[in-house]
Structure 1
Amino acid sequence: MNIATNNGLAVILGGGNGIGEATARLMQARGWQTAIADKDAEAADRVATDLGATGFEVDISSEASVAALASQVETTLGPVSALVVAAAVFQDIVPTEDLETEVWERILHTNLTGSFLANRIFGKAMLARRRGSIVNIASIAALGSMPAEAYGTSKAAVVHMTQNFAGEWGRSGIRVNAVSPGSTLVSRVARRLQTGRYASDPGDFTALGRIVQPNEVAEAIEFLASERASAITGVNLVVDAGWQVASTWSQFGGVRPAREPE
């Protein structure tokens, strides 16, 4: 089935690399007009040039920067149909007792407050038109205990925030959803695999026996942003190759292929 269509204008925050870049490329291929915004202006411009789109610089931790982006996009490109908030910062894995307050505050401010600012600022224009879709990128770190205290907490709060916005804005025609990727083969993860920074391959703990590809997360994001998901709001769609359902099997020897029929 050909699902490419004229879907409107999508703004991808964090679109200069990783999941955001994969999403920008997929949405452009599916008929969206895209605006790629990133703190790394060169990365945003690189992706935008490849796609024949428009690149912008934005710091989602700054209310003034997000507001300026929203105004510039609406003025130069037109009304925004979809917003994807993929910009985030990560943390080094350290014991919680050694996690510095400054690191905690920086990660929560960028990942949580930044997502809030983007939702609120772009959402206001959507509310005025009574139409729009927002997809926030959370993480499987939001869904259970793991040694990423600040990052996991920030993403858990993003899921809760997403549900709140969805509940409040649904009668005004705005859908708000989240996607929680598992370990995804972006450049940061690839470097950790190559340098042995993981104790084991994250794919060993998934039902599918592999980690997630960026385009697989992008598929979920584009679906939720599109009218194909017109009755879906307030969900957190997990894209983790089955990590949640299989990770606890490690204490029983791990997941295994089904036995061949005799």
Structure 2
Amino acid sequence: MTADADRTDATEGRGRVAVVIGGANGIGEATGRLLAARGWRVALADLDEAAGKAVAADLAAPFFRLDVADRAAVEALPGQVEAALGPAAALVVSSGAFQRNVPAEEQDPAELDRILAINVKGTWYANRAFGVGMARRRAGGSIVNLASTTASLATPLSIYGPSKSAIVGMTRSFAGEWGRAGVRVNAVSPGITLVPRVRARLRSEPGRYGADPAEGTALGRLVEPAEVAETIAFLCSDRASAITGIDLTVDCGWGVSAGWAMYGGVRPAPPPPG
């Protein structure tokens, strides 16, 4: 990367305010750190207060304890951020709840309520709370919602996957709702991403994602959190000024390799010349 590119990256945010909900760890943490490095003034919100405050201290950023299932708390967040930093120009909703990979008859129906409250209602509350303000200010803005490849692929996750499908659907609806006010709304769908929680599961539950989940991707590896963060930062930036209403997949080719399984799997790389 050239020195000019480095300077551009460091000033990409131009001092504008970006809010990362779910910014205490994983993809949200990686995104908050990258946006701060790109010149955004970042505010973090998360239910995990200890981890969130630690990340915020590193970034000299304000932290807000937030339960995304609490509508009143989410609706209060834009005003709290504005009082601390100014109005938000970008919102990233990276919060999420997961389910156990067990047969449907073994699922606790209470899990349905919990996951829908966090993934679907929480994302909807956050989009409306920030999106309406962005639209009324007529100063543009960008919202990025974290969906998942499970939104478009058949998996055993009969609650989590449909909840992420709902996020993709609401993303497209909100893109139409606020587009004429200059507000862009997009989704990012990661595949299996090597956040600390997933790395721990790969060690402790080696069969959870199959014998070798990397073998199920075209690139032969899994996604790094920084790679998802790069995609989110791009969609937040002016470089994506004509992009709205999309669901951008970041999965190392997990989706495209699925149809190769019955033909023996993705082909290995050809041998080097000579």
Q: Same fold (TM over 0.5)?
A: yes
Pairing 1:176-215 to 2, within 5 Å after superposition: 176-195=185-204, 196-198=206-208, 199-215=210-226
Q: 2:55 maps to what in 1?
A: 47
Q: 1:165 maps to what in 2?
A: 174
Q: Say whether the 8 Å CA contact 2:150–2:161 is kept in structure 1.
A: yes
The C-alpha deviation readout for 1:157-182, integer Å capped at 9, x for no partner, is 10010000001210111000000000
Q: 1:20 maps to what in 2?
A: 28
Of 93, 110, 116, which residue of structure 1 is paired with 2:118?
Answer: 110
TM score, norm. by length of structure 1: 0.97
Mind listing any 5+ residue stretches in structure 2 that lack a counterpart?
none
Q: Say whether the 8 Å CA contact 2:93–2:146 is kept in structure 1.
A: yes
The offset of 1:7, in angstroms, is 4.9
Instruction: State the alpha-carbon separation in 2 of the partners of residues 253 and 104 from structure 1.
Output: 36
SS in 1 for 2:159: helix
SS in 2 for 1:149: coil
Q: Say whether the 8 Å CA contact 1:22–1:218 is kept in structure 2.
A: yes
Instruction: State the alpha-carbon separation in 1 of the partners of residues 58 and 149 from structure 2.
Output: 31
Instruction: State the alpha-carbon separation in 2 of the partners of residues 101 and 207 from structure 1.
Output: 35
SS in 1 for 2:187: strand
SS in 2 for 1:211: coil
The offset of 1:156, in angstroms, is 0.4
Q: 1:257 maps to what in 2?
A: 268
Instruction: State the alpha-carbon separation in 1 of the partners of residues 53 and 226 from structure 2.
Output: 20
Q: 2:93 maps to what in 1?
A: 85
Paired residue type of 2:170: M
Q: Say whether the 8 Å CA contact 1:193–1:201 is kept in structure 2.
A: no
Instruction: State the alpha-carbon separation in 2 of the partners of residues 137 and 7 from structure 1.
Output: 24
Of 244, 248, 257, which residue of structure 1 is paired with 2:259?
Answer: 248
Q: 1:4 maps to what in 2?
A: 10
Of 118, 128, 131, which residue of structure 2 is paired with 1:123?
Answer: 131
Of 142, 146, 155, which residue of structure 1 is paired with 2:155?
Answer: 146
Of 217, 225, 228, which residue of structure 2 is paired with 1:217?
Answer: 228
Mind listing any 5+ residue stretches in structure 1 that lack a counterpart?
none
Q: Count matched residues.
A: 262
Paired residue type of 1:147: P
SS in 1 for 2:184: strand
Paired residue type of 1:210: R
SS in 1 for 2:24: coil
The offset of 1:4, in angstroms, is 2.3
TM score, norm. by length of structure 2: 0.93
Identity %: 54
SS in 2 for 1:36: strand
The C-alpha deviation readout for 1:6-61, integer Å capped at 9, x for no partner, is 15100000000000000001101111110011011111111010111111111111
Paired residue type of 1:137: L
Instruction: State the alpha-carbon separation in 2 of the partners of residues 214 and 176 from structure 1.
Output: 21
Instruction: State the alpha-carbon separation in 1 of the partners of residues 233 and 115 from structure 2.
Output: 26
Q: 1:69 maps to what in 2?
A: 77
Which range moves more in the overlay, 64-73 or 177-186? 64-73
Instruction: State the alpha-carbon separation in 1 of the partners of residues 219 and 79 from structure 2.
Output: 43
